[in-house]
Amino acid sequence: MSDRFLGNPAGPAKPGEPARPPYLSGHYAPVAVESTVWGLTVHGSLPPELTGRYLRNGHNPPPGVVPSHWFKGSGMVHGLRLCEGRAEWYRNRWVRTPALHDAEAAANGKGAAAGGGGPAAGDGGADAGDGGADAGDGGADDLTASVAGTHVIEHAGRILALQEANLPYELTPELATVGAYDFGGKLNRAMTAHPKEDPVTGELHFFSYSPLPPHLVHYVASRDGHIVREETIEGAGPSLMHDFGLTERHVVWLDLPVVFDPAERSGIPYRWSDGYRPRIGIMPRTGPPRVTWCEVEPGALLHIANAYEDPAGRVVIEGPRYDRTAWETSWKWWTGAPGHAAVPLVGSLHHRWVLDPASGSAREEPLDDLVTEFPTINDSVLGRPSRYAYAVAFPGSGLEEYALVKYDAATGARQMAPTGPGRMPGEAVFVPAAGGGDGYAGEAPGDRGGSEDDGYLLTIVSDLRRDASELIVLDARDITAAPIATVELPHRVPAGIHGSWIPDLPDAATGP
């Protein structure tokens, strides 16, 4: 085991100290050490097909730094290498960006953001994490000044840590930082943290959004990592567009009523606006970038579970929807504002929109009353009709503890798997089982039946009572059953944001 200590972890505030914001406390308290640990203890049996890396990103400011917003904390990637039933290693690394350097300098009294006597506040890097507010070029003035703390993906053999106001950062399979990645000089704007890889073509669709024109630019990278399409989307507005949808034939844009507002002083300059007309745009994937905008009820959507065409050609979207009260209440937690709730999410409810690109009409309906976020699916049906979605359920609406939930769109049923008092699961990443099908209509079933939910859910659970964490592996067909396997981690892992399962990579990356 090797550790790199960088100070003391964030425990309870000492008498006389100001209370720490909620995103630096409890499940979200950052760790102050980078570790590498070999030969992890496994309880149960890891399926042998789980051979690869589970990586998860999240915000973990260095000691002494207090960002002004949850989303502005420096990114740290936690990873486990699994191989044929063994848990070979765990390691965690900060993504080493100029924003991390600035934050560390400020905490040590060497940077412009350092304050006298107290923790460095509100920077997370001079220009990072602001949703592109500092420039009309799709991101901050320095596109490399990323906190890189939202997501981590693999495409064309490259591992990329993402945060939507800046360029992606490439990592090695051992989580060392390679540097900012611009697709061989072809990307000169910020990149979303939620790109979509088409499971059939292997293309990577992504976008850049900005509060200043052009507000929205769409990109497509080929299977081998080359940008082959770049187009400005006319008619989009200065809204906070964290995610988008991809169907077999369309791209789905979210132009909803959380919009750029320089009066917002948290470092993420967006606020709810009752005067902004909420719309969802439907754009064909081929041909000119012509968008049909469908007006919808006022609501915010950070994450789309899936989007697809139904047999009538309408586009169906599902995900956790916020009304104004839910958004503004959650925002208080994200900024540590007085009167914030005890949990980071309030009132985000599973919802469905059905949009008709022929008529421009829309209808929508609530699907559940649980407070949920971080939806996932079996990515082999991304953009195609899907039956199952998974999410993290937060305390509220009668639920007293955190849980994982599975939704069945065909029957309306749900399964719920509470993780226990003092325990919080993260986003559940789906991994297909060996021999299983992908759920497409007409496909021959695999050895285990071939259903869409034939696979495993991987999630890291934070346990405050034991001051510990573990990776749990669930059978996605029945998440209420006991875990198939549990991997003990060497220390508590803070609750994070998004992650990916990356099967063993080829020796060399492709693309520019």
Tracing tokens 């053999």 back to the chain, one arrives at 157
Per-residue pLDDT, 384: 98
Among 442, 438, 353, 312, which residue's Cα sits nearest to residue 387?
Answer: 438
Per-residue pLDDT, 1: 43
Burial degree of 39 (CB within 10 A; 0-12, 13-18, 19+): exposed
Under a CB-based contact definition with an 8 Å cutoff, are residues 77 and 137 in contact? no
Among 79, 66, 157, which residue's Cα sits nearest to residue 113?
Answer: 66
Would you write out the chain's pLDDT as a tens digit for each of its 512 residues?
444 433 333 444 455 556 789 999 999 999 999 999 999 999 999 999 999 999 999 999 999 999 999 999 999 999 999 999 999 999 999 999 999 998 888 888 765 443 333 334 433 433 334 444 333 334 447 999 999 999 999 999 999 999 999 999 999 999 999 999 999 999 999 999 999 999 999 999 999 999 999 999 999 999 999 999 999 999 999 999 999 999 999 999 999 999 999 999 999 999 999 999 999 999 999 999 999 999 999 999 999 999 999 999 999 999 999 999 999 999 999 999 999 999 999 999 999 999 999 999 999 999 999 999 999 999 999 999 999 999 999 999 889 999 999 999 999 999 999 999 999 999 999 999 997 654 443 333 344 457 999 999 999 999 999 999 999 999 999 999 999 999 999 999 999 999 999 998 665 456 67
C-alpha to C-alpha distances, 27 to 23, 30, 130, 403, nearest whole angstrom: 8, 9, 24, 14
Quick: pLDDT tens for 372-425. 999 999 999 999 999 999 999 999 988 999 999 999 999 999 999 999 999 999
Per-residue pLDDT, 437: 52
pTM above 0.75, yes or no: yes
d(CA 377, CA 379): 6
Per-residue pLDDT, 16: 53
3-state secondary structure at position 100: helix
User: HSE of 331 in the Cβ direction (CA atoms, 13 Å)?
Assistant: 19
Under a CB-based contact definition with an 8 Å cutoff, are residues 27 and 468 in contact? no
Per-residue pLDDT, 139: 41
Per-residue pLDDT, 447: 45
Per-residue pLDDT, 512: 74
Per-residue pLDDT, 123: 39
Per-residue pLDDT, 460: 98
d(CA 354, CA 383): 14
3-state secondary structure at position 106: helix
Structure token pair of residue 454:
């034939």
Kindly report the number of other CB atoms within 10 A of residue 410's CB atom: 11
